[in-house]
Amino acid sequence: MTSESARLRWKTWICAAVVIFSNVSGNFFLKRGMPAELAGAAAYITVLFRPMVSLGVLLLILWLASRMALLSWADLSYVLPVTSIGYVLVAIAGRIWLHEEISNTRWCGIALIMAGVALVSAGTPPQTTKSPMEEGAHTVGTSR
Amino acid sequence: MKWAMVGIIVAATTVGEVLQAKGMRHHGEIRFRAGRLHRVVAVLARNGYVIASIVAMAVSFFAYLELLTVSELSFAVPVTAVTYVFETVLAKYVLHERVSWVRWTGATLVICGVALVSL
């Protein structure tokens, strides 16, 4: 049981890292690639063929897929706070690559988010309820 | 206009993400094994919760783009972080997750932090 929960915890952290990375980088490329204005409906299609925009869209598809995979075993009330570390990464990336100032208020916000993420990820198990199908499988038996 | 968009985004995001969690939990833990993932995709494409969640999240995505044309990012980000509150409440009462006080505290810290970061 303990090795099972350790396995789930590791799997959760790896998958959460993919969710966070793909979301932050996907949004970054999308914003870099988007023109200031989209004129007409056709522009919404042609903009997808810009390399930066297509890379951003691909990363956001990876984000959707990895988030769905993560939610297939992890609780929503666990995934929400843990993946919000992305807000911190965006602020820090802005400081490193775009030389944006981080005010004291923003540093306080970053500290609060990190405390929340640490509390939930280290202090609670990723899963508190089993899927109805898995529960059914356990009662039927382990014939696999 | 601005607040109407916020209302649409918050409602669509909350509904979409709760349905996504519901659908994926119904499917059960995905095990990453080569040659089996295409079967997972085929099963999920017929999962009603998953389909409805993707529709709701698409509505939320386009409403968010619309909001960004009429407001600053520093307004859009914290105001949409309200979904964390609704989703955590729904996670407890609709998804029947055991939301301990540690998780409530963590979620509250994150919401306050997001608001401060985007000020």
Parent domain of B15: 2-117
User: What pTM did the predictor assign?
Assistant: 0.85
Q: SS3 of A40, please?
A: coil
Nearest residue of A to residue B107, measured between CA atoms: A81
Of all residues in chain A, the one with the smallest CA distance to B84 is A80
Asked if pLDDT for residue A25 goes beyond 70, the answer is yes
Query: What ipTM describes this predicted complex?
Result: 0.89
In angstroms, rounded to a whole number, what is the distance separating the alpha carbons of residues B51 and B56? 9
- The average confidence (pLDDT) of chain B is 90
| Preferred mutation among A12, A67, A71, A121 to probe B, highest tally of B CBs within 10 A | A71
Distance of alpha carbon B32 from alpha carbon A51, whole angstroms: 29
The answer to whether residue A76 neighbours chain B at the CB level (below 8 Å) is: yes
CA-nearest residue of chain A to B24? A72
Tens of pLDDT, residue by residue over A108-126, are 999 999 999 999 988 888 9
In the predicted model, is pLDDT for residue B87 greater than 50? yes
Chain A residues with CB under 8 Å of B98 CB are 128-129
Q: Using DSSP, how many helices (H) and how many strands (E) does chain B show? A: 6, 0
Q: Give the per-residue pLDDT at B80.
A: 83
Total domains in chain B come to 1
